[in-house]
Amino acid sequence: MLVILSGVAGSGKDTIKKELIKRTDYITSLPSYTSRPIREGDVEGQTYCFVTKEEFEAKLKDGEFYEYDVHHNNYYGTSKKLLNEKIASGKVIVKDIDVNGTENLKELLKNDTKVVTIFLRVPKEELQRRLETRVDKPGPDEIKLRLNRFDYEESRIGLYDYVIKNNDLEKSVQIIMTIIENELRVENEEF
Ligand code: 5GP
């Protein structure tokens, strides 16, 4: 089963994903391939598999990705091989991905894997506050860009199975664990 977590940057999806993985032994992550530079806190093969633009383009040409997108001039793609290996291991994969990638993956995987989609919502004022108090605080133009992106992502909320207001980390983690457990139960009962 693949659980997709979406929400704008600053919505808390990274923190929630890490908590879910830390607290259970059946939830795992799925690193995407990217051509963006490594940042502090990144771990090769865990947060992402880092490649050059040329290496990414070669993989793209060879049909190695289910889907890909370009964000801030960098490629990001979901590897068919990595996803299939993780699914075969029987674990629940939690992946954070934007709305466009979610739509593509849901469509592509609909006959092969159960996909559960969750959108994390934060009020716009709260998001602005979080962006402005981040250690790696973006500049004013970047903040404006992200708030515009907020309106776009909010407009696509109908695509998701679940929408959660993330104003309390602990509560959100508990809600998502309950969703995953229920979805697993339904999956096991389906025949
Ligand atoms: P960041 O560089 O901040 O980690 O991620 C930038 C954006 O890329 C985020 O919106 C993230 O959800 C998106 N992203 C990460 N991996 C993938 C992927 O495999 N496919 C797509 N379409 N977007 C991705």
pLDDT in tens, 36-46: 999 988 999 98
Q: What is the pLDDT of residues 82-139, one digit of tens each?
A: 999 998 998 999 998 888 889 989 998 888 889 999 999 988 888 888 888 877 777 8
Select from 59, 69, 79, 118 the residue to mutate for testing ligand 1; criterion: most ligand atoms less than 8 Å from CB: 69
Q: What number does the ligand 1 atom closest to the CA of 34 have?
A: 16
* d(CA 98, ligand 1 centre) in Å: 6
Q: Which residue's CA is minimally distant from atom 12 of ligand 1?
A: 97
Q: What is the CA radius of gyration of the chain?
A: 17
CATH of the domain at 123: 3.40.50.300
The answer, yes or no, to whether any atom of ligand 1 lies below 6 A from the CB of 172, is: no
If one counts the domains in the chain, the total is 1
Name the DSSP letter for residue 38: P
The answer, yes or no, to whether any atom of ligand 1 lies below 6 A from the CB of 153, is: no
Whether the pLDDT of residue 191 is over 80: the answer is: no
**Residue 155, domain extent:** 2-188
What tokens appear for 152 in the block?
């776009």
The distance from CA 172 to its chain's CA centroid, rounded to whole angstroms, is: 15
